[in-house]
Structure 1
Amino acid sequence: MNINLFSQTITLKGKILSFDDKMPIENANIYIKNTDFGSTSNILGEFELVFDSNKTSDEIIIIIDHIGFESTEVIYNIQNNRSLQNIFLVRSVIQIEELNVLSEKDDFELEINSKELTEKLSTDLATTLSYLPNINVLSFGQNATKPVIRGYSGNRFFISKNGNEFGDLSATALDHAITLDLLQIDAIELIRGPKTLIYGPNTVGGVINTTVDYIPNPQEKPAIRLYSGSESYNNSYFGMIKIDLPYKNNQISIGGNSRNTGNQTTPLGELINTSSNNTIFDFGITNFTKKGFRNFIFEKINMNYGIPPTQSGHIYGVDLKLFSNYYQFHLHEEINFLNFNDFHIKYLFIDYAHEEFENDASYYDVRLAQKTHNFEMELKSNQTIVGTEFNYKKLMPDGFVWTPLTNRYNFSLYGFNETNLKSFDLLTSIRSDFLNIIPNPQMTRYSNLDINEIKNRSYFFISYSLGVRKKIDNFTIRSFFINSNRGPSIEELYSDGPHLGIYSYEIGKPNLNTESTIGFETSLEYQSETFNININPFYNFSNNYFQMDKMGLCDEQFILGYSHPCAGADFIEWGSGSGWLYKYQIDEKKAEIKGLEINFQMKFGFFDFSYDFSNVIGDNLDSNIPLSYMNPTKQIFSTNFSLKNSDVKIRLIKLDDQNRLGEFETFTPSSMITDLIFTTKLNPFKCENCSGDLTIKINNLFDQLSYNHLSRTKDIMPEPGRNLVILYNFKI
């Protein structure tokens, strides 16, 4: 232990190892309970925990957390003047349930608490995240779902896998699926504040980072993980296998997922053409060195899914086929350069395409393909990150669509720093982006765009953020400001064609400027051993908020076999879909989005109670009307009973009615849903190195009728009724 007598700064050194195989554990979180002092372990499991003894008692509790291991507490007396030496962690089964626990290591992150009741919440990312405050599901049936965070969707937050983009087109339209299966995920974190800018400029809504264990900890023995389960509301069956094979200083990882679902059912009947079939295969090889690793990953994804029919489009539904090949090369080294101790280089290549078919057709109507190259280089220390990134995308549309073939180049520099001052902590970040978009029109005339406006566009913009953190006894005050800027997407500029899966004809705006949003957020938290409360208001303003607006609405009902009641209307594209599709056009407007989140938690021995309240209000300041697709006010009540090897949880989710309606929106009534969850440890093979968890969950226990305000099918069918979920996770 090192002590600076003048400042009373203490440095504790130690090493984190696995209890099973005595191998070092990288990226373990080490922090002092009820303080802001923390550190992480390096590739060798080593760490340095630096703290000010004037801000702690003589006896401190050091907590060590790592996904896949049981949380460990070490009681340490400062007067002993000794190092921590080796600390051993015991493996646990990884699952996902408690996503609403505030990390003590990074105050602007919401992340999984692996010590709490753990389970997979849903088959898709959006529904899984909807158990968090102010996150709801934008959906068009069970296969087309996207999270909406505080009223933001699309390109206003960043969804990543191990910090990397997916390379798909999920942010551009609702029918484009996210190329991810929850069986792959080991952890999910929601990041807000200054640190978001290291992921991208489009982070006013935050960052959703999913962790996939492509780079496992070094092991001496082979390891196998099996996961299987089923759901009743769509008659689905799914499974996953992952095998890690060590050889000398190398490790090979092989995995596969499969998921098959039938049509979605509701208390009022079946939502047709909503079945799906998804398969994922991944392979990785890692070479471990004394100070780092080299890693290669390949992942292949195939998805086939249906979109339900509506009268304003294809009356028999639309089918989509999606393909994605993902390649990653990663070099990571421990270094000693200036104040930096980590260096990594990462290259990604993603080959993505999806095809849209009229139901049961043999040839696609629309095909959108995209090739993505991404190069990243980064230096890290415990409190500083600096990096650079180059991203190149090539969009290749085909079929019944006039969006031009387009190349998109983006170069960025970014930095993040945390400074521990005498009375508070200061967090700063900055990111600069240069964006160049080069279209290559293949025609001399477009349906709705002026050919002379389809030309090269260049943008330069800077995003920055400033945050502060102040701790006074059991109270913590956190606040940050962010100026987030983003360039328009290719589709927002040059789209001219139908999105068959969402039954719309979308028109871009080639002269769009950079979208700029400023945001303010403050939280006040009180935390003790048995009680925690957090109050968190936020406010965002944009002078040029991009929104794809419906150009009109036909009030009379269209009856199949008769002429259209709005024949000839200029807000309909004739000849698309089942003869017609509504037109949507991108527009810029002044907008503000504000809201409040309150979290309350109490612990009484084996009994835990939590309550979450969240609301968001969005307004179009140009037209003095509400913004469309805003989350309704949500309340979540959760009670957990911890037994010897089991947990029982009762969860109630109340959604208020939504009567603040944007243009062409309709009223949505309130709802109350009850979930019952039971989890127990189950190891049928009784082997020493085996572990298993069985989870049985009943969603919507009382089969209540409920409607999702953000669902495109709410006028056709309600949300799913009672749903029995059985999950089993086994590891050896």
Structure 2
Amino acid sequence: MNMNLFSQTITLNGKIFSSTDNSPIENANIFVEKTNFGSTSNSSGEFQLIFDLKDISNEITIIVDHIGFESTKINYNVNDNRNLDDVFLNPSVIQIEEVNVLSEKDDFELEIKANELTEKLSTDLATTLSYLPNINVLSFGQNATKPVIRGYSGNRFFISKNGNEFGDLSSTALDHAITLDLLQIDAIELIRGPKTLIYGPNTVGGVINTTVDYIPNPQEKPAVRLYSGSESYNNSYFGMIKIDLPYKNNQISFSGNSRNTGNQTTPLGELINTSSNNTIFDFGITNFTKKGFRNFIFEKLNMNYGIPPTQSGHIYGVDIKLFSNYYQFHLHEEINFLNFDDFHVKYLFIDYAHEEFENDAPYYDVRLAQKTHNFEMELKSNQTIVGTEFNYKKLMPDGFVWTPLTNRYNFSLYAFNETNLKSFDLLKSIRTDFLNIIPNPQMTRYSNLDINEIKNRNYFFISYSLGVRKKIDNFTIRSFFINSNRGPSIEELYSDGPHLGIYSYEIGKPDLDTESTIGFETSLEYKSENFSININPFYNFSNNYFQMDKMGLCDEEFILGYSHPCAGEDFIEWGSGSGWLYKYQIDEKKAEIKGLEINFQMKYGFFDLSYDFSNVIGDNLNSNIPLSYMNPTKHIFSTDFSLKNSNLKVRLIKLNSQNRLGEFETFTPSSMTTDLIFTKKLNACKNACCKGDLSVKINNLFDQLSYNHLSRTKDIMPEPGRNLVILYNFNI
């Protein structure tokens, strides 16, 4: 310590280090509390702190602060006449609230974290989630897959990326891929109950929120993440590299993904025209402040994939090229306003398009483009969220399709609150939506729609939910009610044209009202240290359930080279596709969907045993027949054997036969498959900052023949056979 007796100034010298690896910390802030005296550390962690004795007391508090580390307070007496000891800062776990949900999970949420995600990770989101109860895969080959949750698909649940939409058309048709690569994500949340309404009104089936690390925790040093792997059933190879570069209070991040797959193979042969090639590049820059951050993200995605051929449509298959440019601006601040302590503003612009080609054709038959603007503003506290959102979409069809160019405006207000009462917890939410849909017909007449019905549509609807949670010793009772409403999509209103990818001619219904669904769900859980059981029944009813129904079916087989046995029938559109396509039209019906889920878990030494049972029953109450596309009853048995740095899991999945058939559905036999999963933590550099994970999986170990009831190709080929998957994740 140096003291100048004439000016009464004191100079303190010191050094700042990281407690994890003893490396010096540059640009740390060092200041005397409640004064203007401060300093910063250099590249060697050294600093000089100069202050004037006449402006301070003898007892002072020195604060050492740096983004990414916990603040440290040092009590110092100026009469001690000594320099400061070396200061060691502990890294902090900075939870940047990129996802607009409360940071603490409530009991209506299920999260698949990074360590669990490795063992479940598959080619696509739907297959990854299919290892959970009551989630199955609606598919048209390996590239066109969607999750079906408790019998709900499409617009009846919300799939999000960091709490926001993808801006693609994946919810409108089976062949439209979800613009996401599984290598990007760090976790997946499955959310049900009152909190779902902060995402959107269409959440009776829940919310699937994928967490993508667009805004990483602040790094002291450059960080690199590598991910690579392969699958044998489609001869695929994939990889990702992500780099974070810190500079003072800023961080630049960029990453690249690539995935190449061959055709899907099965125990009976190859499903042709199912190969794919996907690339993603994203760039981000984040400025961190003491109370938040400002962030910009750009992501560019390209996907090229095939849809397999079928005799009922394009006999050579369809190729799809998909493009998406994603821009995000995000401001996040800690505040002190009323009871709120968190504020964020987010703007998204998504430029999306895909083109559908008859196999190997040089020009597209159908092009669907959509531009999305989304503005969101939100206030949060530990127990409350209030927010507003404005969404504008412009749909621009082109080619051999007659859906009109359409503008869609949606303005919403929403709120969620959790109140901890004396004997139970009360969860409640409400959401109001104002929806305006403005078509701009480019034709004077349409093939199946009346031009006079293609006009502006306005909707106003309110969704709300109420839930309770009660704990009694080892028992927990949870229950919620939800009234979920959604406006019809542009395609549900105004479609009139062939859909090459799924070989159908789709017809909308311009006078659709809002679809309203009420739902009830209750769960009873008993949980002790080594044992738990959860019983979870649910019931949903809709007075006007939208469904795209096939208008008819030809009982006789069509043979190439001969006239069609049903020539002239109204349920077939002639002159489309390979000459004809089945017509599908939106219809409204009374429907109920109900089911039961049971989970059992037990720990015994190094072993973890679990069993999941799930079933769902859907009924068309107008026709007294089952609803189509319902999940078959599923049983999941798994055994985990854990050691210090490795885990071995054996998983058996049994699907019951599906003989409750909706209109035009066919029977699907039962199946059982066995998976073997081995994961091991690796430490290639022999220190804490260089580590990774290796996962080796064998799906369908015994190469069993199995069919997916929700697959559009089940009459052509079964599901994949034995599949060796190798995944390697490495962090520096």
TM-score grouping bracket, smaller chain normalisation: 0.7 to 0.9
| Pairwise CA distance, 1:87 | 8.1
| Pairwise CA distance, 1:644 | 2.6
**Alpha-carbon distance in 2 for matches of 1:546, 1:170:** 17
| Pairwise CA distance, 1:686 | 3.4
**Alpha-carbon distance in 2 for matches of 1:321, 1:709:** 27
Q: How does 1:606-645 map to 2 (within 5 A)?
A: 606-645=606-645
Q: Is the 8 A contact 2:280 2:300 kept in 1?
A: yes
Q: How does 1:188-267 map to 2 (within 5 A)?
A: 188-267=188-267
Partner SS, residue 719 of structure 2: coil
> Cα 1:491–1:19, aligned 2, differ >3 Å: closer, same or farther?
farther
Q: Is the 8 A contact 1:706 1:718 kept in 2?
A: yes
**Alpha-carbon distance in 2 for matches of 1:516, 1:478:** 23
Partner SS, residue 119 of structure 2: coil
Q: Is the 8 A contact 2:319 2:358 kept in 1?
A: yes
| Cross-structure match for 1:665 | 665
> Cα 1:288–1:674, aligned 2, differ >3 Å: closer, same or farther?
same
| Pairwise CA distance, 1:89 | 7.4
> Cα 1:638–1:120, aligned 2, differ >3 Å: closer, same or farther?
closer
Q: Which amino acid aligns with 2:354?
A: H
Partner SS, residue 491 of structure 1: helix
| Cross-structure match for 1:500 | 500
| Pairwise CA distance, 1:114 | 4.9
Partner SS, residue 665 of structure 2: coil
| Cross-structure match for 1:31 | none
| Cross-structure match for 1:482 | 482
Give deviations 1:167-195, integer Å, cap 9, x for gaps: 00000000000000000000000000000
**Alpha-carbon distance in 1 for matches of 2:372, 2:93:** 40
> Cα 1:489–1:18, aligned 2, differ >3 Å: closer, same or farther?
farther
> Cα 1:688–1:597, aligned 2, differ >3 Å: closer, same or farther?
closer
Give 5+ residue unaligned stretches, structure 2.
1-17, 26-88, 95-102
**Alpha-carbon distance in 2 for matches of 1:302, 1:477:** 46
Q: Is the 8 A contact 2:685 2:691 kept in 1?
A: no
Q: How does 1:286-305 map to 2 (within 5 A)?
A: 286-305=286-305
Q: Is the 8 A contact 1:19 1:90 kept in 2?
A: no
**Alpha-carbon distance in 2 for matches of 1:363, 1:553:** 31
**Alpha-carbon distance in 1 for matches of 2:93, 2:335:** 29
Partner SS, residue 452 of structure 2: helix
| Cross-structure match for 2:452 | 452
Partner SS, residue 128 of structure 1: helix
Are residues 1:137 and 2:160 paired?
no
Q: How does 1:569-648 map to 2 (within 5 A)?
A: 569-648=569-648
| Cross-structure match for 1:538 | 538
> Cα 1:18–1:235, aligned 2, differ >3 Å: closer, same or farther?
farther
| Cross-structure match for 2:473 | 473
Q: Is the 8 A contact 2:117 2:187 kept in 1?
A: no
**Alpha-carbon distance in 2 for matches of 1:220, 1:178:** 35
> Cα 1:351–1:672, aligned 2, differ >3 Å: closer, same or farther?
same
Q: Which amino acid aligns with 2:345?
A: I
| Pairwise CA distance, 1:119 | 3.0
**Alpha-carbon distance in 1 for matches of 2:505, 2:182:** 31
**Alpha-carbon distance in 1 for matches of 2:490, 2:433:** 16
Q: Which amino acid aligns with 1:682?
A: L
**Alpha-carbon distance in 1 for matches of 2:425, 2:624:** 39
> Cα 1:89–1:708, aligned 2, differ >3 Å: closer, same or farther?
farther
Give deviations 1:300-351, integer Å, cap 9, x for gaps: 0000000000000000000000000000000000000000000000000000
Partner SS, residue 328 of structure 1: strand
Give deviations 1:251-285, integer Å, cap 9, x for gaps: 00000000000000000000000000000000000
Give deviations 1:20-51, integer Å, cap 9, x for gaps: 7999xxxxxxxxxxxxxxxxxxxxxxxxxxxx
Partner SS, residue 183 of structure 2: helix
Q: Which amino acid aligns with 1:225?
A: R
| Pairwise CA distance, 1:645 | 1.6
**Alpha-carbon distance in 2 for matches of 1:341, 1:409:** 30
Partner SS, residue 322 of structure 1: strand
Give deviations 1:207-263, integer Å, cap 9, x for gaps: 000000000111110000000000000000000000000000000000000000000
Partner SS, residue 107 of structure 1: coil
| Pairwise CA distance, 1:692 | 1.3
| Cross-structure match for 1:358 | 358
Cα RMSD (Å): 1.8
Partner SS, residue 554 of structure 2: coil
| Cross-structure match for 1:390 | 390
| Cross-structure match for 1:715 | 715
TM-score by length of 1: 0.86
> Cα 1:605–1:424, aligned 2, differ >3 Å: closer, same or farther?
same
| Pairwise CA distance, 1:112 | 1.9
| Pairwise CA distance, 1:18 | 9.6
The higher radius of gyration belongs to 2
**Alpha-carbon distance in 2 for matches of 1:217, 1:529:** 33
Q: Which amino acid aligns with 1:417?
A: N
| Pairwise CA distance, 1:683 | 3.2
| Cross-structure match for 1:399 | 399
Q: Is the 8 A contact 1:18 1:89 kept in 2?
A: no
| Cross-structure match for 2:53 | none
Q: Which amino acid aligns with 1:644?
A: K
Give deviations 1:465-517, integer Å, cap 9, x for gaps: 00000000010000000000000000000000111010000000000000000
Q: Is the 8 A contact 2:120 2:131 kept in 1?
A: no
Q: Is the 8 A contact 1:314 1:578 kept in 2?
A: yes
> Cα 1:404–1:613, aligned 2, differ >3 Å: closer, same or farther?
same
**Alpha-carbon distance in 1 for matches of 2:92, 2:528:** 25
Q: How does 1:335-374 map to 2 (within 5 A)?
A: 335-374=335-374
Give deviations 1:504-560, integer Å, cap 9, x for gaps: 000000000000000000000011111111100000000000000000001111111
Give deviations 1:119-157, integer Å, cap 9, x for gaps: 352010000000111000000000000000000000000
| Cross-structure match for 1:655 | 655
Aligned length: 645
| Pairwise CA distance, 1:104 | 8.2
> Cα 1:22–1:607, aligned 2, differ >3 Å: closer, same or farther?
farther
Give deviations 1:392-412, integer Å, cap 9, x for gaps: 000000000000000000000
Q: Which amino acid aligns with 1:303?
A: M
> Cα 1:267–1:289, aligned 2, differ >3 Å: closer, same or farther?
same
> Cα 1:694–1:489, aligned 2, differ >3 Å: closer, same or farther?
same
**Alpha-carbon distance in 2 for matches of 1:153, 1:309:** 24
| Pairwise CA distance, 1:113 | 4.5
Are residues 1:510 and 2:539 paired?
no
> Cα 1:132–1:104, aligned 2, differ >3 Å: closer, same or farther?
farther
